[in-house]
């Protein structure tokens, strides 16, 4: 029985390492793009869904207003999702500078208010390229011009761009930055390998006509989350090979890590909840295999108190997990100019096992809190 279990553990370890090699190859395949240098011609609509963001929204609007993109080609629509603080008032104060406020007033209860907010913003928009970000983000002044330069040069139907955390104040937040970079790298690497799977809605752009061509969020609107990844997968199914990852530092959007464990786990449960809706079942299969790999590492760690054999198996798994994850993360952290955080992988790697198993168990079985609402 021990021999059979050993084979299963080692097989799952091999699968995980194979996936990491695949991801390393995918990230390496992405190059810094040569962008069009002519004056842009694309009319864009920047969309932000905001709920109770009075502490952040002004900073995000100021960053948007500081963009070097031609003002006559930029439309900004911010949707206030039933805020109970001063969010709408702050947004309204920027009306003289061209910021449009759209307030939601649905009487019936929804499970995905954010998808509804984005859909309403697109219906109101006049742009050809929709650009989505969040109400607590910051970006450099060349962000939009870089995104549009990529769009006009390579003609993708959807663009996933990098997101990272900044202004960390604790070890916990720095660990989140490293782990989040791993997730961003996964989405980028899959695109680099020609197979789009994940992205982040804080930095996403897509053609408006393509959004309507795939019927928007129809079929995925029963899940609170997924306005980014599930839409990407719908578009990838219709336009394989036409989704790009913009590997350019000027395209980075910055946001902040969660300040405590409770908020962090709520966020990760929300992200995990959309996995059952993934169209690409091979990706789902890989995710299950990785979850099982982490489970065997955890089981072997626990059985180490029972027999030395399991401790040896645990050490082998943890060693190769750390080695291959470091190889994957090194170029990603170089891209974000945060290589100093790699030393934290020694701490993060074993913690990640516990967190991954836990989130995988509860992500699709329980409701969670998001923006003051309980959703599924």
pLDDT tens column, 106-120: 766 766 789 999 999
Name the percent of the chain lying above pLDDT 70.
Answer: 93
Q: 75: which strand partners?
A: 45
* 196 vs 221: which has the higher pLDDT: 196
* pLDDT above 60 for 101: yes
Residue 131: enclosing H or E segment and its boundaries?
strand 129-134
Those residues whose C-beta lies under 8 Å from the C-beta of residue 303, and which sit 6 or more positions away, are 310
Mean pLDDT of 181-191: 97
CATH number of 31-265: 3.90.550.10
Using an 8 Å Cβ cutoff, are 67 and 144 in contact? yes
Residue ranges of alpha helices (H) inside the chain are 2-29, 57-65, 87-92, 113-124, 143-154, 171-192, 208-213, 229-238, 261-273, 281-303, 308-335, 345-362
**Three-class secondary structure of residue 76 per DSSP:** strand
Q: How high does pLDDT run on average in the chain?
A: 92
In the chain, domain spans: 2-26+280-366, 31-265
Name the percent of the chain lying above pLDDT 90.
Answer: 78
* pLDDT above 70 for 364: no
Determine how β-strand 129-134 pairs with β-strand 44-50.
Answer: parallel
* pLDDT above 60 for 156: yes
Buried b (16+ CB within 10 A) or exposed e, 142-159: bbbbbbbbbbeeeebbbb
pTM (predicted TM-score) = 0.92
pLDDT of residue 31: 94
* pLDDT above 90 for 287: no
DSSP 146-178: HHHHHHHHH--SEEE--EEE----SHHHHHHHH
Q: How confident is the model at residue 367 (pLDDT cuts 50, 70, 90)?
A: low
pLDDT of residue 376: 55
Buried b (16+ CB within 10 A) or exposed e, 6-32: eeebeebbebbbebbebbbebbeebee
Pick the range with the lowest mean pLDDT from 36-45, 159-168, 277-286, 323-332.
Answer: 277-286
* pLDDT above 90 for 375: no
CA angle 365, 233, 328 (to 5 degrees): 85
* pLDDT above 60 for 80: yes
* 158 vs 225: which has the higher pLDDT: 158
Those residues whose C-beta lies under 8 Å from the C-beta of residue 360, and which sit 6 or more positions away, are 272, 291, 294
């Amino acid at each position: 029985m021990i021999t059979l279990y050993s084979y299963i553990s080692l097989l799952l370890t091999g699968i995980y390492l194979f996936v990491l090699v695949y991801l390393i190859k995918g990230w390496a395949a992405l190059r810094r793009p040569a962008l069009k240098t002519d004056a842009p011609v694309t009319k864009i609509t920047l969309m932000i869904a905001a709920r109770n963001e009075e502490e952040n929204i002004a900073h995000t609007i100021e960053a948007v207003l500081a963009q070097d993109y031609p003002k006559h080609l930029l439309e900004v629509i911010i949707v206030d999702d039933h805020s109970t603080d001063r969010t709408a008032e702050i947004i309204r104060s920027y009306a003289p500078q061209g910021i449009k406020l759209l307030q939601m007033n649905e009487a019936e209860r929804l499970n995905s208010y954010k998808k509804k907010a984005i859909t309403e913003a697109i219906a109101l928009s006049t742009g050809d390229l929709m650009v989505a970000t969040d109400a607590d983000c910051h970006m450099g002044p060349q962000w939009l011009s870089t995104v549009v330069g990529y769009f006009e040069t390579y003609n993708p139907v959807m663009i996933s761009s990098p997101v990272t955390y900044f202004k960390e104040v604790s070890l916990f937040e720095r660990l989140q930055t490293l782990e989040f970079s791993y997730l961003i790298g996964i989405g980028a690497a899959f695109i680099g390998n020609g197979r789009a799977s994940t992205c982040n809605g804080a930095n996403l752009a897509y053609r408006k006509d393509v959004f309507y061509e795939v019927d928007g969020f129809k079929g995925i609107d029963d899940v609170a989350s997924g306005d980014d990844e599930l839409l990407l997968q719908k578009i990838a199914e219709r336009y394989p090979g036409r989704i790009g990852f913009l590997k350019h530092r000027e395209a980075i959007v910055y946001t902040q890590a969660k300040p405590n464990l409770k908020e962090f786990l709520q966020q990760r449960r929300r992200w995990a909840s959309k996995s059952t809706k993934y169209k690409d079942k091979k990706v789902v299969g890989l995710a299950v295999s990785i979850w099982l790999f982490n489970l065997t590492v955890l089981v072997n760690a626990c059985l180490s108190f029972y027999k030395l054999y399991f401790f040896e198996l645990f050490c082998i798994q943890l060693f190769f997990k750390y080695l291959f994850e470091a190889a994957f993360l090194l170029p990603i952290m170089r891209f974000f100019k945060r290589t100093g955080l790699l030393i934290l992988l020694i701490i993060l790697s074993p913690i990640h096992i516990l967190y991954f198993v836990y989130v995988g168990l509860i992500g699709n079985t329980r409701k969670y809190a998001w923006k003051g609402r309980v959703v599924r």
